[in-house]
Chain A
Amino acid sequence: MNLAVEWQGRTMIVRVEETRIDAAVAILFKDAMREMVAMPSDRIILDLSRVAFLDSSGLGAVVAVMKLMDAGRPLEIAGLTPTVEKVFRLTRMDRVFTIHPTAGAGDDDAR
């Protein structure tokens, strides 16, 4: 599971460098993210812009990662591709997570 980390101040941006988060890799994703969560940060933005496909196992893993975060330290999502956006919307997880169009610089909110 390849993750690329970038910092904007105390915000950790984790870009998933995989095209799929599915049942075959959901546990690997969760384990890799556990290490990210263990590093001190004020919040984590999970950049899914490279992920073309995420299934219910992948979504469950994202929810599990959110539960690993301490209270008051949010996990936010950025860069949903069309099929991933559909999964978030249909399961109403788009109302649970703060979702940014992109995680990149220029997004004032992601600073």
Chain B
Amino acid sequence: MTMPDSAEGKAHPGAIHCWLPGDAFAVRATLAQLLPRLAELIPCEDDLGAAEIVLAEVLNNIVEHAYRGRRGDIEVDLTITPEGVRFVVTDSGDPFPDRRLPSGRLVAGRLTDSLPEGGFGWHLIRNLSRELHYERNRGQNRLSFLLPADQSRKRGEIGRS
């Protein structure tokens, strides 16, 4: 693989750029459009499933917590690198509390009323992505992450030991 790692930002045959309004149905439609294109870049079904989960969680999180019912756009940029598919997702909604990403730690729950109905999203994002990075700049949230796409890998889990 000789694809230059420094191609970020440049026009690139493997780069995809899209934007969508911040609502749950637009997220669904965007995933339906992106998935066949991602399938060409991510050969392993397991990796592709992970990519769909992470993207859905990241985009729906923006709809629910950054825009909270307000109108706003979400921009998705992806570039192909030797390590996988690098995503940059930008929105103009509210920043994360304390300008930090949620830990995604699961609250230990048993089969009781204390079992959480939420908080699963960041746990999934953190488990299935790599190089997760958040910046707040000029009223914009910018989240970047890498979804591994090992061309030789047939099965197994991402980012797990």
Contacts and interface: CB of A to CB of B under 8 A. Distances in A.
A32 to B, nearest CB: 17
Interface residues of A, number: 23
A87 B103 CA distance: 17
B20 to A, nearest CB: 13
B111 interface: yes
Interface string A65-105: 01100000000000000110011001110001000000000
Contacts, number: 73
Number of contact residues on B: which range applies? Answer: 20 to 34
Chain A, interface SS category: helix
A61 B116 CA distance: 10
Nearest to A90: B127
Interface in B50-75: 50, 52-53, 56-57, 60, 63-64
Interface of A: 20, 22-24, 53, 55-57, 59-61, 63-64, 66-67, 82-83, 86-87, 90-92, 96
Q: Which 9 A-B pairs have the closest CB atoms?
A: A83-B49, A56-B120, A56-B121, A24-B24, A60-B117, A23-B60, A23-B24, A55-B56, A91-B120
